[in-house]
Amino acid sequence: MTSLAAVLPDTTPDFDAIKKKQQLTWASGNYAKVGSTLQLSGELLCEAMDLRSGATVLDVAAGNGNATLAAARRHCNVTSTDYVRELLDQSAERAQADGFPIQYQVADAENLPFMDGQFDNVMSTFGVMFTPNQAQSASEMLRVCRAGGKIGLANWTPDGFIGQLFKLIGKYVTPPAGLSSPALWGTEAFIHTHFGHGADAIEIEQREFCFRYLSPEHWLDVFRTYYGPTHKAFGALPEAEQALLAADILELINSHNVATDGTMKLPSTYLQIVITKTAI
């Protein structure tokens, strides 16, 4: 289990300034090109939460709507939120094509505009983990979930492929001073620290998501072009360092790639978490 003391920052960052930069980052590229491939994780999380038809569901930092659509397929009353309007618009197009009556609202995960206990279920897949004020966003998820309700999360682990990718990018583009790694959300220590006091039960399962692409080079091209954090990282570097970062990413991919036919099949670990809020 990863120790929180070893990775928590010593200084208090400017969360508002960081958030504004993050909004620009996630609005850059075209996250749907990446996010749509992660649909399976949203479906599995909804099954793990045992979502019931007619239940109210809040998707936090919903991105282009993988978990949102998965909950809607189970005939839940879904409210989908993100602080990037463009991502919600992409999700709304998907919902309209499938005929799902989903409510969309721009919202900050650290200051959710909902009443205490308003939702039966609150969820986030690879979204809320990127908020700068981690303790605040965790507190908000607990607050808006009703007593006895469920909170579902899918978070990349620090030691998995995506967690290692974050560390690699951090060697080239220094993260804001005092900011905690998003991958902390993928540790049992973080989950128990921030949710344990308000939970009757916490179920954590380590799962793997397989990135399947035509080749490692294809993955790199897609993520460099469309995935906000990677897109911005390359854009911040001079040409020579871009080439070095690309080479290092390909080396990382090749160290995890289990395909032997020239394609890419790369498992990346994440935690699937289901928290049952304390019944009062």
- What distances in angstroms separate CA 240 from CA 66, 172, 234, 237, one per listed residue? 36, 12, 11, 8
Instruction: Give a yes or no: residue 71 inside a domain.
Output: yes
Q: In the chain, what percentage of residues exceed pLDDT 70?
A: 95
pLDDT at residue 23, rounded to an integer: 67
Instruction: Give a yes or no: residue 255 inside a domain.
Output: no
∠ CA 80-82-83, rounded to 5°? 150
Q: Would you say residue 10 has pLDDT above 70? A: no
Backbone angles phi, psi at 196, to 5 degrees: -60, -35
Instruction: Give a yes or no: residue 228 inside a domain.
Output: no
- Amino acid occupying residue 2: T
Number of domains in the chain: 1
Q: Which of 109, 91, 110, 116 has the alpha carbon at shortest distance from 38?
A: 91
pLDDT at residue 9, rounded to an integer: 44
Where residue 161 falls among pLDDT bands split at 50, 70, 90? very high
State both tokens at 139: 């507190």
**Average pLDDT value over all residues in the chain:** 92
Instruction: Give a yes or no: residue 222 inside a domain.
Output: no
CATH number, residue 54: 3.40.50.150
Q: In the chain, what percentage of residues exceed pLDDT 90?
A: 80
pLDDT at residue 1, rounded to an integer: 47
Q: What is the pLDDT of residues 50-97, one digit of tens each?
A: 999 999 999 999 999 999 999 999 999 999 999 999 999 999 999 999
**Region 26-42 average pLDDT:** 85
Where residue 14 falls among pLDDT bands split at 50, 70, 90? confident
**Region 217-238 average pLDDT:** 92
Q: Would you say residue 228 has pLDDT above 90? A: no
Contacts of 43 (CB under 8 A, 6+ apart): 70, 73
Instruction: Give a yes or no: residue 151 inside a domain.
Output: yes
Instruction: Give a yes or no: residue 245 inside a domain.
Output: no
Instruction: Give a yes or no: residue 248 inside a domain.
Output: no
Choose the weakest-confidence range: 22-26, 210-214, 222-226, 265-269: 22-26
d(CA 54, CA 251) in angstroms, rounded, equals 47
Q: What is the pLDDT of residues 176-226, one digit of tens each?
A: 777 888 999 999 999 999 999 999 999 999 999 999 999 999 999 999 999
Give residue 118's domain range: 15-210+268-277
> Quick count: other Cβ atoms within 10 Å of Cβ 106?
12
State both tokens at 172: 């080239």
d(CA 94, CA 194) in angstroms, rounded, equals 33
**Region 160-178 average pLDDT:** 90
Instruction: Give a yes or no: residue 249 inside a domain.
Output: no
Q: What is the pLDDT of residues 92-127, one digit of tens each?
A: 999 999 999 999 999 999 999 999 999 999 999 999
d(CA 95, CA 73) in angstroms, rounded, equals 10
The model's pTM is 0.91
d(CA 191, CA 273) in angstroms, rounded, equals 9
Q: Would you say residue 8 has pLDDT above 50? A: no
